[in-house]
Amino acid sequence: MNIVTCIAPVNIAVIKYWGKRDENLILPLNDSVSATLSIKQMNAKTSVMASPNFTEDKIWLNGREETFHSQRLQNCLQEIRRRAKQRADGKDDGVSDWCVHVCSENNFPTAAGLASSAAGYACLVFALAQLYNVSGDISGIARQGSGSACRSLYGGFVRWHRGSASDGSDSIATQIVPHSHWPELRILVLVVSDKRKKVSSSSGMQNSVKTSELLKHRVSHCVPQRTEAVIKAIINKDFETFADITMKDSNQFHAVCLDTFPPNVYMNDTSHAIVNLIHEYNIASGKNKDLIASIRMEPHEPGLLKYLIHTEVGVGPQVLDEPHHHLLTDAGLPKVLV
Ligand SMILES: Nc1ncnc2c1ncn2[C@@H]1O[C@H](COP(=O)(O)OP(=O)(O)OP(=O)(O)O)[C@@H](O)[C@H]1O
Ligand SMILES: C[C@@](O)(CCOP(=O)(O)OP(=O)(O)O)CC(=O)O
């Protein structure tokens, strides 16, 4: 059967990726570090199907057909087909020459700053790799769909190495520790808006590279030391240092966005109220207080917090074997549309 269905997780960066040195290959200016979130609560689910009967590559995203002409989609598909053709066993069964139909859905808001592109491209590339029997590192392929997607191919804590090769061959993700390393850690995702961001990450960071002096300082003077220090804190399960670096790096990322001209404002009053609440909680050494209850009480105006996802660090992408999981019919059409 030439159909595969997979799910892939989102990831949240504790050292942020912001700025590219190559727009087409998606090569970053700095290393980044993230935690992969449990696949149970938030995931992208993707079915890919290849058939000699298909006449063109097609993709449906959240129930709507989208154009397959996007350069990023094309780059991922081309690269994985190239890898399929040069498989170690030298046998190409011809499947990589057939057109593909892709159907994907996210079980959380798309393009709202919740890393939908990360889960989405990780899932697509992981599923295509199963379909074409491609083995070895595929994070460098997912990276060409969306930079942060390379980190969603691994569970636990993950580092995306900026690399130095001009062809991007060393700009890949590696696992720092598996999800089982720090099981006590809990992650709360507080969604203050589920609308599409006004400025996408891609164009936001492009403007920052062009106009922000602070970005240059961050890349050369802050991120290298922070990356080493946060990895050490993760390995030692040193929560205080981990939390300190994570908050400082997030603040600096938002400061770079404000230093960009014209500025990108991604946080609103509710986001700032939450940041203040966390600091007050820490100062009050609220280890015995119920943080979730405090968050639900604050900010005081009801309805400002859209929803709260209580999750933890999780595993990387998974294959779903059962036929009822497939999002495409045997004829290659989205089940939701037939
Ligand atoms: N399941 C998916 N499969 C393939 N592509 C996807 C999927 N989900 C999202 N995308 C692509 O990612 C784009 C959204 O990426 P964008 O970077 O703007 O938002 P985000 O990833 O949700 O936010 P952020 O990068 O700030 O965390 C979508 O417009 C679509 O092109
Ligand atoms: C703020 C971030 O989430 C930005 C993510 O940017 P994307 O990976 O979505 O950008 P492109 O590579 O242009 O697709 C920080 C991070 O995840 O490291």
Mean pLDDT over the full length of the chain: 92
Q: How far is the CA of 219 from the centre of ligand 1 (A)?
A: 24
Taking the alpha carbons at both ends of the chain, their separation in whole angstroms is 20
pLDDT grade, residue 298 (50/70/90)?
Answer: low
Q: How far is the CA of 149 from the centre of ligand 2 (A)?
A: 8
Q: How far is the CA of 40 from the centre of ligand 1 (A)?
A: 19
For the chain, give the percent of residues with pLDDT over 70: 94
pLDDT at residue 328 tops 70: yes
Mean pLDDT of 259-269: 95
* 84 or 292, higher pLDDT: 84
**Using CA positions, which residue lies closest to atom 16 of ligand 1?**
111
Q: What is the pLDDT of residue 302?
A: 52
**Using CA positions, which residue lies closest to atom 14 of ligand 1?**
111
Q: What is the pLDDT of residue 92?
A: 63
Q: To which H or E segment does residue 7 belong?
A: strand 3-9
Q: What is the pLDDT of residue 94?
A: 80
Mean pLDDT of 226-238: 98
Each residue of 22-49: pLDDT tens digit? 999 999 999 999 999 999 989 999 999 9
C-alpha pair distances (Å), 80 with each of 45, 71, 74, 129 = 19, 14, 10, 7
Q: How far is the CA of 195 from the centre of ligand 1 (A)?
A: 13
Q: Ligand 1: does its nearest atom lie under 6 Å from the Cβ of 282? A: no
Q: How far is the CA of 19 from the centre of ligand 2 (A)?
A: 9
pLDDT at residue 52 tops 60: yes
Q: Ligand 1: does its nearest atom lie under 6 Å from the Cβ of 264? A: no
Q: What is the pLDDT of residue 290?
A: 77
- The tokens describing 87, both together, are 């498989």
ipTM confidence score: 0.95
Q: How far is the CA of 56 from the centre of ligand 1 (A)?
A: 23
- The tokens describing 311, both together, are 């999750």
Mean pLDDT of 225-230: 98
Substitution site in 14, 17, 75, 139 for ligand 2 pocket (most atoms within 8 Å of beta carbon): 17
Half-sphere exposure at residue 177, Cβ-oriented, CA atoms within 13 angstroms: 15
**Using CA positions, which residue lies closest to atom 13 of ligand 1?**
117
pLDDT at residue 112 tops 80: no
Which ligand approaches the C-alpha of residue 45 most closely?
1
pLDDT at residue 141 tops 80: yes
What percent helix, strand, coil does the chain show, rounded to 5? 40, 20, 40
Q: What is the pLDDT of residue 130?
A: 96
Q: What is the pLDDT of residue 35?
A: 98
Mean pLDDT of 205-214: 98
Q: Ligand 2: does its nearest atom lie under 6 Å from the Cβ of 32? A: yes
Mean pLDDT of 86-97: 73
Q: What is the pLDDT of residue 304?
A: 76
Q: Ligand 2: does its nearest atom lie under 6 Å from the Cβ of 201? A: yes
Q: Ligand 1: does its nearest atom lie under 6 Å from the Cβ of 144? A: no
Q: How far is the CA of 201 from the centre of ligand 1 (A)?
A: 9
Q: Ligand 1: does its nearest atom lie under 6 Å from the Cβ of 114? A: yes
Domain annotation for the chain: domains and CATH numbers? 2-266+306-325 (3.30.230.10)
pTM of the model: 0.95
Cβ atoms of 160 and 172 closer than 8 Å: yes
pLDDT grade, residue 16 (50/70/90)?
Answer: very high
pLDDT at residue 182 tops 70: yes
Q: Report CA dihedral (338, 319, 145, 166) to the nearest 10 degrees.
A: -160
